[in-house]
Amino acid sequence: MRRYALVLLAALSWSTASHAQGYISRLLNYPVPGGVAVVALGQAAQAPRVFLGDDRVMVLRDSDEQWIAVVGIGLKTAQGRQLLKVEGEQGKRQAAFVVGNKNYKSQHITLKNKSQVNPDPEQTRRYEREYQEQIAAYSRFREVTPSNVSLDKPVHGRLSSPFGLRRFFNGEERNAHSGLDFAVPQGTPVKAPASGVVTIVADYFFNGKTVFIDHGQGFISMYCHLSAFDVNVGDEVKRGQVIAKVGATGRATGPHLHWNISLNNTRVDPAIFISAFQP
């Protein structure tokens, strides 16, 4: 009987704690490698500034009126305690969160175009230039609150390759899959999942035709392997607006959309933002 009472008390305590959290915390808090940590910062008149390392972190006011840090966690982050630097009305302090564990599967892909596995020197130089352009876009921090963090799907279709897959191209291991793939037909319209500003419209060696949207506060989305563009750099787009068409350009074996989400210059699982995350 005593054991039952303790279990019941624990359940009630968990329920109370869960309900005490705000909407964004309940939606996005999956603190694992490649996931998102939502860290409570308390109540204050002004939003504090928060950093993970040298990268600025998104800060929002949640539905429970607390300020929260919405932190992207890198795929290579070790389990354990991580510290944020917080600057606000109370001066400088630290806030902590704990990273758990998540195992990701492997994927083996065969490409007929061998240069997309081992580029020649000229192609490598092109890739390095393109990579730096993308890193610059990911690292920007606009002082604008995103219109929404519960995102619409950019296309409606079957989810194929998930985020975090260890990928082997023609038997050689490369970087883990940094986005979420949708298996949809060539020409399918791609829609902006939130409002923002277009920062990249380009045709890249590996990504193919690519669009970047800056949603504010380091919240960046990328769309790859497109067949056509419907926007230009500098365009302000609205949630639901068509930005491109699905294709199979770049390193792709068939038509699909590769969708990236980045927070504080860190690529995270887009499935979190469409309520499709698999722990």
Count how many residues are written for the chain.
Answer: 279
**How does strand 242-246 pair with strand 208-214?**
unpaired
Show pLDDT as tens, one digit a residue, over the chain (279 residues): 443 333 333 333 333 333 348 999 999 999 999 999 999 999 999 999 999 999 999 999 999 999 999 999 999 999 999 999 999 987 899 999 999 999 887 655 554 555 555 677 888 899 899 999 999 999 999 999 999 999 999 999 999 888 988 755 544 545 678 899 999 999 999 999 999 999 999 999 989 999 999 999 999 999 999 999 999 999 999 999 999 999 999 988 899 999 999 999 999 999 999 999 988
Rounded Cα distance between 107 and 46, Å, is 46
Q: How many CB atoms lie within 10 A of CB 141?
A: 17
Residue 268 per-residue DSSP state: E
Non-local CB neighbours of 173 within 8 Å, separated by 6+ positions: 166, 167
Do residues 141 and 195 lie in contact, with contact meaning Cβ atoms separated by under 8 Å?
no
Write down the residue that tokens 């995103």 correspond to. Answer: 146
Do residues 204 and 212 lie in contact, with contact meaning Cβ atoms separated by under 8 Å?
no
Residue 162 per-residue DSSP state: P
276: Cα separation from own chain's centroid = 13
Rounded Cα distance between 70 and 34, Å, is 13
| DSSP assignment string, 220-231 | EEEEEEEEEES-
Q: What domains, with CATH codes, occur in the chain?
A: 2-99 (2.60.40.1590), 106-274 (2.70.70.10)
Half-sphere exposure of 260 (CA within 13 A, CB side): 23
Cα radius of gyration rounded to whole Å, the chain: 20
The pTM of the full predicted model, rounded to 2 decimals, is 0.86
Residue type, 74: G
Q: How many CB atoms lie within 10 A of CB 222?
A: 23
